[in-house]
Amino acid sequence: MMAKKDTKKGREVYYRHLFFVGALWNWGASVVFILFYKKIFTLLGMEIPLYPSIMHLFLVLVVTFGIGYYWVSRDIQKNHDIVRMGIIGKTLVFLLFLFHSLFGNLHPLFITVGAGDLIFAVLFIEFLISSKKR
């Protein structure tokens, strides 16, 4: 019985860390792009966006989702709808980055960033499945 309790506690710690790292991923990517988007786009050989406010709106939403992941990390028993929204959002970001990279609208490096989001989406799905079993 004790081993099962230790395993459950270990999983809870893992999930708390998962969502905290997910929050850091969102915040880090957003801050880097907000501060250095001109350098990044130039380095990748892409045109600097004519209307950066559109990109900033996207990044503000990424920050907001990061706040949601932080809330989940504080109490993994609650906020499962935030996790569901995260799964949808991260999957769509990957698909959009893939689509636009394949059609030449984005540098292929963005697929790597999108793949990071897709990995989080899969881990978030695993969390929801695991939490139903508990």
Question: Is 82 among the domain residues?
Answer: yes
Question: Is 29 among the domain residues?
Answer: no
Mean pLDDT of the chain: 94
Q: How many domains does the chain have?
A: 1
**Distances in whole angstroms, Cα of residue 112 to Cα of each of 49, 109, 129:** 20, 5, 26
Question: Is 3 among the domain residues?
Answer: no
Question: Is 2 among the domain residues?
Answer: no
**Distances in whole angstroms, Cα of residue 106 to Cα of each of 44, 88, 117:** 9, 21, 16
Structural domain span for residue 64? 36-133
Residue 98: φ, ψ to 5°: -65, -50
Averaged pLDDT for residues 95-123: 96
| 121: pLDDT strictly greater than 80 | yes
Question: Is 10 among the domain residues?
Answer: no
Question: Is 19 among the domain residues?
Answer: no
Question: Is 118 among the domain residues?
Answer: yes
Question: Is 31 among the domain residues?
Answer: no
User: Residues 73-83: pLDDT tens digits?
Assistant: 999 999 999 99
Q: Which two tokens stand for residue 125?
A: 């799905």
Range of weakest confidence among 4-8, 32-36, 68-72: 4-8
User: Residues 21-53: pLDDT tens digits?
Assistant: 999 999 999 999 999 999 999 999 999 999 999
Residue 30 burial (C-beta neighbours within 10 Å; 0-12, 13-18, 19+): buried
pLDDT at 48: 93
Cα 19 from Cα 129, distance rounded (Å)? 15
Handedness of CA 29, 129, 122, 81 (dihedral sign): negative
